[in-house]
Each structure stands twice: as C-alpha cells, then as structure tokens.
Amino acid sequence: MCDIRWQGLKHSFDELFGIPTTASDIIVFLVLKSLHLWFMRSWEEKAVIMRKEGEEEERYNTYNGITIMPRLSKLQIMDCKELKVIPFYMFSHELKDLKISDCPQLTGLQPSLPPLLEKLHLSGNVGVLKSSLPLLHNNNDNYPNLNNFHIYHSAQSSLPEGFNQLTSIRQLNFSYCEILDFESDDLKHVTKFNLLEINECPILAERFRGGGEISSSSPHVYNISICRSLCILELSVITAR
C-alpha cells in the first residue's frame, strides 16, 4: 500500500510523477495495488484528460503511451478540500474498491466509474457524487460487479441520481445520514439485494423499523439491520410478491 500526504501538491501528473507529457511507452507503479491519498489540502488536479480516438477502451489509465498504476485495485481519497477532478489514471481497469471522503469541490469525473468496481464508499461532502452517479451510458448493466455501496455522513435527503441503474448491489449501508429518506420500492431494481444496514439515520430507521409491514411491489427477501444509540434491531423483510 502507498500512503501519500503531500501538502502543496496541485497537479499530480507532472508534480508527483515527474513525467513529461511527451513521454511514451512508460509504465509507472507497475505493482502498486492500494493507494491512500489524504489531507492534501492544495490538490486540485487538471482538467479531465480524455482518451484519443482509437485508444483501447479497457486502458483507462493509459494516455499517450504512459500507463500509470495498471494493477491498482483499492483507492482511498480523503479530505482533499480543493480536489476538482479525479485523475484519469487512478481509475484503473483493475480497481475494485473505491472510497471518497470529504472532497466538497469535486465537480468533474471521468466518463464513468471503473467498470469492474465492487465496493463504493462515499463519506461526507463528495461534491457531484453526493447527488449523481456517472453511469455506463453504452451498457444496460451498469457496474455488474458493484455489490457493496456505503454512504456515510451525507446531508442529502434522497438517494443519488443513477442509483436505480445499479442492479447488482447485495449490501447497502447508510450511516449518520440524518435526513436521508427513501421507500422500499426504491430498492426493487436490485434483484440480488440481501442486506440493508441503517446506522444512526433516524428517518430511515423509523421507516424500515416496521419490518414485514413495509409495502413494496418487489418480490425480494432481504435482511435489515438498524442501529441507533447502541440499540441494534435485526429484521427480516419479506416483501409482497
């Protein structure tokens, strides 16, 4: 794992790696699998760098012959207050676990999240991601491997736009989301869903505390775990068929 806290860094492509934009056939951090970037208060990053026409779609972290972190499978970006866009090369095709926390200026993304992503954790103010998720516009099955989705400390009152396109989720966790609210019908599209965890989310806890009395048009069977003020309530919900 590589843990980076670099005060004063603004643009990682040239400042962190020292790679000239005219370089080619270079692989940087070939074996790096886990990267944690945190408390980089000046990090802004440059505008999104798009692939040129003809470049292979699966090479998400390659640009002009420069390949960076091709085996990166876990990425955490925490408390980077000025970060406006996530660098293209950090969205490796191998990336499975992504956690973003307290990046309020995040306004730009790559065209999509890594296509094989399995775990997505969003915590605090994460800019554009707090209200909208980028989807795979040319694919009817958005993120087929994404089975764990966690939202912590969100000030939003509803699920992010695009959530209803995530059909492979098995476990959902909401923690310290004081005004977040949605209905059980908002989960009917996740046909593999089996666990909903609610921790210190008073509105959600009240809505789902009824267990089997929840009204839904979905045929799913799933478990609910509600934790509030050190009191844990386990429920099994069998929704209407």
How confident is the model over 85-126, as pLDDT tens digits? Answer: 888 888 888 999 999 999 999 986 667 788 899 999 999 999
Please give the Cα distance from 137 to 159 (Å, whole number): 19
Please report the pLDDT score of residue 239 as a whole number: 46
Where are the domains positioned within the chain? 1-111, 131-241
In three-state secondary structure terms, 78 is strand
Please give the Cα distance from 62 to 72 (Å, whole number): 13
Alpha helices in the chain (DSSP H): 12-15, 202-208
Distance of CA 146 to the CA centre of its chain: 9
pLDDT in tens, 83-92: 988 888 888 8
In three-state secondary structure terms, 123 is strand
In three-state secondary structure terms, 48 is coil
Strand order in the sheet with 62-63: 26-28, 66-68, 62-63
pLDDT in tens, 35-54: 999 888 888 876 545 454 44
